[in-house]
Structure 1
């Protein structure tokens, strides 16, 4: 993702107004006067292949979730702070900011609960982070579900992730525009080559480039097809695969295939899993990687050491990854004992996390085989809200400093709750 750029909200509104219709998902809440106000609006300018469900309305006493195809001019008026009539709702949206942040994201890049197979540009306008109300339990009827908290309902409605307490929404607006000129449908990493399955609506003059510290290789694109890069010595760490034209990138992948702690990039297929493990270990333990020889069992001190690292990863942007089956002092790949099945070992890790951390992060364990040795990698997503380790009646917060997980300071804890009110 490139660094955010600031764009004028009026210019963004004109872009939306130019669309005959758009797909919108709106979260509405009532104010003190009983008027419906926009809490969050997600707008897709052109995404027919993105599953966002059909038209629907979830209505609760003080909260409503509305999914509709709307005229572009209706959403443009809301972006400018003008009220609009949407079915039974008279919706008010304050124009708090004159500028929006614009971010370019590559294909299969996860960002605040959304992933798309193709690259996209997203414009976001942040909401006042202090604006929080407790709406209590949301009880649905036969047409829509019930939720324990407002945040869980938002997660389910926007991200199709029911009861995922790791998803928070701090934007007033999120406008998404696909960029499908050229994009990678699949990238296959083999021991001696890299294969790109390229798709796109405009592939004229597109160049495919694989760049690594020792050099780069380029292929001229001749249409939607599969393209091979021969790699006699295998894929090197910090390689960059990029499609570009006229000095502008269209899609890209950076290796290792996915950032620590994130959901796996489903477009990247590793035909040699050992290579991914070597790339993960290339820089050793640090702010986003922790290694453990074995899964902690009886010793509560060993278990707590692992869990406080998970809490630290979950509380920082980008999260982190824990590798089980790796000596932490010299990074020797020793593998896990196979007296239990891999499924049992993964469940054991996830159960420890769920029972001891609040809120429990949605970890993603997976098995990596290396020379017939079993390694379990646990990817911990992070950055959405503070995560605590429960020690009896006490909640302990941790941060990552280098390769250590240490107690968070009062200032760091206060800052975490200021950015994410109503959590934990």
Structure 2
């Protein structure tokens, strides 16, 4: 797999034009009688993302269109030329000319999408995000109704509820699969790591497990399972990577909080996760709490400050409930309430006090004798604030401590947010 091309708009349009046909999803907004492109998503041979359906959701001021179209037609639209798609004359306010390129490993979530194989995404961002209150969108027998425009966009593009942290701020998003070599499943046991490798082009591929103390390599000899012995267990900050001629093809990274929502990584002995999480103690990505702070306002705010700090940093973080923060003793949570009730309490605290509320993922970590709940907080692309009355407070993580963010840090965080500058 060659390195992904860093393209300008014309180069990206030329890439799309080379395809006989592509799958597109278009979000159109009616501005003074013209159908203006709000967002376009193009899938190049991305069958795993393609529902195969051709559909049109039409509302008075908004239209959602899914079609398989000729690559040349979509290339013209990418270059800002008006085109006719069925009943719609689509125009593009092509102000931005900057194309950003992102290479994503397999099973990685990005703006509502997950694919088993790695992929490359090219995005063109709008110079500004237009705001218009479209009101309640009332559907008919062929398409649903929505309370807001953002909810309709999330449903149409990703078939999932709207997440305030994943607002669509790109004018264009072009997705191309990278199926040369990829990891279907990675199984971690106490004494070995096994990876199931698949791909369309496995010639000369090297599989490497890189650890802080060194690395080991295996030649890939076809789609198969490959095993690395782990006499001392999996080391924190290990990197599993497939590469060829200096270019990476797929990878998995195992930091102190390694697994989160990555469903391709399977723990053969689930109790190992708690050991791996605690191996370095509290750190910039891990916080421990003896109990869920449902009664005391001071300890509740302390926990929420940490969530805000994790959500504001790119790598996110994890909070463990049922573990002492000073000596890492595993004490477990009370059984007076059900696990579902305790996880719901945590989620409600976060949603009610943080803006924008991160899409946290409470889950139970298996332990033979104790009840432990982990909350994985995904990293954000914009600062997350804790609301204290009328005041918004921003926090950052420093080592194992959470502190108030400085004005400079807040300003820098917003400057790096998508759609700002």
* C-alpha separation in 2, matches of 1:256 and 1:417: 27
Say which is worse superposed, 92-101 or 76-85, in terms of deviation.
92-101
What SS does the corresponding residue of 1:373 show, helix, strand or coil? coil
Q: 1:335 to 1:140 in 2, by over 3 A?
A: same
| Deviations 1:27-48 (CA, angstroms, capped at 9, x unpaired) | 11122x3211111111110111
Q: 1:237 to 1:258 in 2, by over 3 A?
A: closer
| Deviations 1:3-44 (CA, angstroms, capped at 9, x unpaired) | 99842221111110010111111111122x321111111111
Shift in Å, 1:371:
5.1
* C-alpha separation in 2, matches of 1:232 and 1:177: 39
Aligned residue in 2 for 1:75? 74
Aligned residue in 1 for 2:30? 30
Say which is worse superposed, 76-85 or 312-321, in terms of deviation.
312-321
Q: Within 5 A, what are the aligned runs for 1:13-412? A: 13-31=13-31, 33-52=32-51, 54-256=53-255, 264-370=261-367, 372-383=369-380, 387-392=384-389, 394-402=390-398, 403-407=400-404
| Deviations 1:249-305 (CA, angstroms, capped at 9, x unpaired) | 111111139768xx6111000123343333333444344322211111221221222
Shift in Å, 1:420:
7.1
* C-alpha separation in 2, matches of 1:307 and 1:325: 16
* C-alpha separation in 2, matches of 1:254 and 1:59: 43
* C-alpha separation in 2, matches of 1:129 and 1:321: 33
Gaps spanning 5+ residues in structure 2: where? none
Does the aligned pair in 1 maintain the 2:189–2:267 contact within 8 Å?
yes
Aligned residue in 1 for 2:10? 10
What SS does the corresponding residue of 1:49 show, helix, strand or coil? helix
Q: 1:118 to 1:376 in 2, by over 3 A?
A: same
Residues paired across the two proteins, number: 416
What SS does the corresponding residue of 2:333 show, helix, strand or coil? coil
What SS does the corresponding residue of 1:7 show, helix, strand or coil? coil
| Deviations 1:335-377 (CA, angstroms, capped at 9, x unpaired) | 2233333223212212332344444332211111245322211
| Deviations 1:180-207 (CA, angstroms, capped at 9, x unpaired) | 0111000000000011111111112212
* C-alpha separation in 2, matches of 1:318 and 1:23: 32
* C-alpha separation in 2, matches of 1:136 and 1:384: 27
* C-alpha separation in 1, matches of 2:236 and 2:159: 34
Does the aligned pair in 2 maintain the 1:291–1:326 contact within 8 Å?
yes
* C-alpha separation in 1, matches of 2:258 and 2:190: 21
Shift in Å, 1:51:
4.7
* C-alpha separation in 1, matches of 2:255 and 2:128: 34
Say which is worse superposed, 406-415 or 379-388, in terms of deviation.
406-415
* C-alpha separation in 2, matches of 1:226 and 1:368: 27
* C-alpha separation in 1, matches of 2:241 and 2:414: 38
Does the aligned pair in 2 maintain the 1:258–1:264 contact within 8 Å?
no
* C-alpha separation in 1, matches of 2:134 and 2:409: 27
Shift in Å, 1:130:
4.4
* C-alpha separation in 2, matches of 1:51 and 1:96: 29
Does the aligned pair in 2 maintain the 1:287–1:400 contact within 8 Å?
no
What SS does the corresponding residue of 2:46 show, helix, strand or coil? coil
* C-alpha separation in 2, matches of 1:421 and 1:19: 30
Task: Calculate the TM-score normalised by the size of structure 1.
Answer: 0.89
Cα RMSD (Å)? 2.7
* C-alpha separation in 1, matches of 2:155 and 2:243: 36
Shift in Å, 1:118:
0.1
| Deviations 1:388-413 (CA, angstroms, capped at 9, x unpaired) | 44445x25232223144445566766
Does the aligned pair in 2 maintain the 1:312–1:397 contact within 8 Å?
no
* C-alpha separation in 2, matches of 1:383 and 1:280: 21
